[in-house]
Chains A and B, each alone.
Chain A
Amino acid sequence: MSRAALVIARLTLREALRRRLLWALLGLTVLLVVATGWLFGRAAELTPFEGGERQLILSQLLVMIAFMFSFVLTMTGAFAAAPAIGPEIENGLLLAVLARPVRRSDVLLGRWIGLALVLVGYALAAGYLEVAVVALTTGYAPADPLVAPPYLAAEALVLLTLSLAFSTRIAPVASGSIAVVGFGLAWMGGIAGGVGDYLHNDSLRTAGTVAHLILPSDTLWRGAMFGLEPPPDVLAAAGSQARIFTVSPFFAGTPPPPLWLAWCLAWVVATLAIGAFLFRRREL
């Protein structure tokens, strides 16, 4: 990695700090944590269920909250990345930068690193806080409480990458919107695939696979869900009661296979490469 990319990454971080993006995120996190604490406190008090069932219900509630959180994260990533390149070409800011010994790919990579650091930092901090607050207010902890937040961070990173790659060529509103719609479609594709699995329907399964190949955010979301679920023995103890959960779109029976995780990584690298290619061919 070139030095110029690191300079741009640092510049991006400084800008996030100076423009109070980090502070806004911090404020949002506090709000989120307080709201979650209150909600789960009430839920824990009011639920008539006991033992494994109680655990399952709390885990589902947590997954739903996490889904909302993943959406917020994705929006943050997509809309932070959407204006990262294009407007700076149009307003001339990049003319002065690119006239230095700096490649366009350095600018793209630097932007990506800087934004990714902000996003991942935020996702991990807020994610772990959430898990901790739920554990404190309800006593519910996922099988491995460390697993879900990195998946959530990675999911948002996928959409950030997509939005950044598009931002080299199209207007910020468009590239942010594409990322958000893509997020929704990929999620629905994942549900189609899940239903296909359950019903043994090949065309639904294929739809799910294709969605995961085109935009692998849902693969990572499934990892996050898996990371928020109760340990297998709790599920087993709940017996037939647990079956209703296993067909829910908010349930993942297994973590994403390593091959799919590798695909996520390859997808991010390839998308950045496409972004660099698009950027290189753009007239300043």
Chain B
Amino acid sequence: MAQKTSAQQKGAAPAGIDAGLARALYNDMVLIRRFEEKAAEAYALGKIGGFLHLYIGEEAVGVGATSTLRPDDYAISAYREHGHCLAKGSDPRRAMAELFGRIDGLCKGKGGSMHLFDKSVNFLGGHAIVGAHLPLATGVAFGIKYRGTDQVIVCYFGDGAVPEGEFHESLNLASLWKLPVVYICENNRYAMGTSLERALAQTEIWKFGQAYNMPCEAVDGMDVLAVRDVVARAVGRARTDKTPTLIEARTYRFRGHSMRDPAGAVYRTKDEVEREKLRDPIVLFRDRALKAGWLTEEDARKIEKDVHDLVDEAVAFAEASPEPPASELLTDIFKES
């Protein structure tokens, strides 16, 4: 059985944290971590092709943010999106099958790792042209306002999107038109091998929100509860009075840019990587939850075991799923009316 992640549904009361919420947050972060580890293994075995960008180290951002959303809210992301998609509630088996390029994948194997889409959970993709999905998110928010619902959209993107024009066009339009969108920059300090300092005249990314006259702040992206707090406020503003927000979540990717940059070490020091790993968001939250009594050691172990089983099952499911039939090559180019 696919287990739907549950942090999202627990999102009602950002202030309090109870065992149920702690369990959900921990579960979702461990699920993403394990999913990515197994994906890396499958990649090494040649079962996944192309580019594979892992979210390891950044789990607290996607999980904390999603925990403030309702199921009918939208999320959209770049190509490092497995975590956002799983947090939103996608079936890990179908996500893994998509990475394997199989017919039971979320997109019938036609999207791949960088293009996960799942309409059933309002996950709007996986976009691999840096910056290009920010206008799309803005348009989804425009549509929400046009239809008069109280949904919101969160839009995840990297620090590498900030120097792109579409980041600036989007923030300007969203603020000008008052649209219910939360822009979450996952600042992991590198765009491939280019560090923030080598790319941006203003490295305090949250400050661009000031330029566009919208609420903005930075948050420790290794702290799932801090992320949850900041995003909950932004989502509240978006929902009640259509105010967009720019959030800079400061995080770090523990692995290379993609599987083709396995060491991720020419443009940053080993020391730096090791130092950042000490702030592993999953370890930090586990310790905190145990200390606070939200989880017991047995709870944590049980979650870890269940997640491992679930991801093993996802890999088996992906492996057993057939390749898409040749007929799929020419379907979905146009929607037939």
- Chains A and B are bound partners: no
Q: Give me the interface of A with B, judged by CB distance under 8 Å.
A: none
